[in-house]
Amino acid sequence: MTADVPGHGAPDAPTAAPGPAPDGEWLRVHPASPFVRGWVALAAIGFFFGRDIFERMLQGRPLIEEGFAGRAPWLVAGGGIVLVITVAGFILTWYFTKYQVSEGYVRVNSGLLFRQQRQARLDRVQAIDIVQPLLARIFGLAELKFEVADAGESAVKLAYLRMDDARQLRATILARAAGLVPDPARPQEAPPEAPEHPVLSVPPSRLVGSLLLSEQSAGVVLGGIASVILSAVTENRGFYFYLIPAALGLAASYWGYFNKGYNFTAAISQDGIRLRYGLLDTQAQTLPPGRIQALRITQSPLWRIFGWYRIHVNVAGYGAVGSNGEAAPRTTLLPVGRLPDVMSMLSLVLPDPGTPEPGRVFAAGLSGLDSDGGFVTTPPRGRLLAPLGWRRNGFATTDTALLIRSGRWWRQLVMVPHQRTQSMALHQGPLARRLGLADLVLHTTAGPVSPRLTQAGVDEAWALFDEQSARARLARKRQTSEQWLAQVAPAPVVEPAPVVEPVETPSPQQEGPHRG
């Protein structure tokens, strides 16, 4: 939550401690923080006042010519005044920015004329990120950003701290959020960072291959072929120029995806799932257990050649992906991976799959047809609305999650833990009403995953609506606390056994949905 509090803030004389701070003590960020954030302003000042001299140097002209000598002192004085004001603003910004971890909250005070205080409950922490832009990496600094369930776009950020301090503060916040009580004999001792166990890593070659086999690449190739054909038929080479903006946009998309997905690694620790990625700007995410609201596994037709999949998730506090795509890398649980990688990530998100045969059920959700794995599919009368996907579209339930699969060519499997189901709605158009079909929409937190069961039989949709409501209520009752270490310890993560992908073979269909 955020609140603008004029004239209210922390004590005016906090001390910056390199190590763990006593509980409730106000601390400042690193003194170089405003300069790392505002280097663009300094560069702009230098360019504006030094452009003329720089151009003279490149052209081999004298630095001071007739007529310029009288203006030079004024330019130097003006540039110096602007530089002093900017640096003074940086220093004041740093001086009035303080943070505190105390009484179950983390608080950040900032602002000179208009004071602002942001605070977040530790037991509502959804994810913690350590972000290192290129310039911050050079100086060994990092930004600590953590999301809470009710923060939305007002996530609490601390920029910048020393890397060791950022990691220690992250460990402290996660320990408090998990419900760990400090040792009464040593109350000021900071909790150690929880050890982690590597789960998987994405090699750069696979990341490059996923880019080359993406839908964007296929579109550019088809556009190039069409341009060649049209140019040969019309004898007009102007069609080639239409490929230039497409190629530039594709190159920018490639670079952004490669820069964010480079060196992607996943690990598991007591405080959650840890993800690291980035080439120039590195980022380390920590997703506490149970904070993932929904999960989606996708596979495009070209990726099916190599058996590659991608996983996106909804996390409370991250919000939907904006127009600039800022949230896209943070909501990617696996940029590209094989089936064993997918099963490994599923075992982290859902330690208890709620079924004695998770391999068979998940494999049926990824590549199965009809009633494979106990899925209830669209009735044969729904082939008019989904002529290719009616044998794929369906759902299955376990004791812990609802699985929704869809798509014959672009395969998709959505998983929603029962306790994360916030509300549901049944949708039915005029044609679907005539065919006795309905769509069931599950509402979770905002994000790239939109759980929707399409073209289900009306009776099956109503039954699932009632049963899922009951399962969600029961699951929320079992989760008595947001502090995961204060509850029963989760099941240990076990590496899943290899799963053989079933072969798609037609099977006789009967009227109505099939149940496993």
In the block, which residue shows the tokens 């001390």? 15
Highest mean pLDDT among 104-108, 197-201, 215-219: 197-201
Q: Find out whether 395 and 412 touch, Cβ atoms under 8 Å.
A: no
Instruction: Give the whole-angstrom CA distance, residue 469 versus residue 460.
Output: 14
More confident residue, 306 or 49: 306
pTM: 0.78
| Bridge partners, residue 315, by sequence | 292
58: pLDDT confidence band, cut at 50, 70 and 90?
A: low
Residue 49, pLDDT > 90, answer no
Read off the pLDDT of residues 351-362 as tens digits, 9 standing for 90 and up: 889 999 998 999
Q: Find out whether 379 and 393 touch, Cβ atoms under 8 Å.
A: no
Asked if residue 160 has a cis previous peptide bond (ω within 30° of 0), the answer is: yes
Instruction: Give the whole-angstrom CA distance, residue 159 versus residue 146.
Output: 12
Which of 22-31, 32-41, 475-484 has the lowest average pLDDT?
475-484
Q: What is the mean pLDDT of residues 470-482?
A: 80
Q: Find out whether 408 and 426 touch, Cβ atoms under 8 Å.
A: no
Which of 55-64, 118-127, 140-149, 283-292 has the lowest average pLDDT?
55-64
More confident residue, 120 or 304: 304
On average, the pLDDT of the chain sits at 80
| Bridge partners, residue 405, by sequence | 394, 413
377: pLDDT confidence band, cut at 50, 70 and 90?
A: very high
**Residue 1: which of 131, 111, 139, 153 has the closest Cα?**
153
pLDDT of residue 311: 96
Q: Cβ neighbours of residue 107 under 8 Å, at least 6 residues apart?
A: 10, 99, 100, 101, 117, 118, 119
More confident residue, 123 or 501: 123
Instruction: Give the whole-angstrom CA distance, residue 499 versus residue 126.
Output: 32
502: pLDDT confidence band, cut at 50, 70 and 90?
A: very low
pLDDT of residue 53: 66
Backbone angles phi, psi at 313, to 5 degrees: -135, 155
Q: What is the mean pLDDT of residues 9-30?
A: 56
Token reading at 38? 């505002």
342: pLDDT confidence band, cut at 50, 70 and 90?
A: very high
514: pLDDT confidence band, cut at 50, 70 and 90?
A: very low
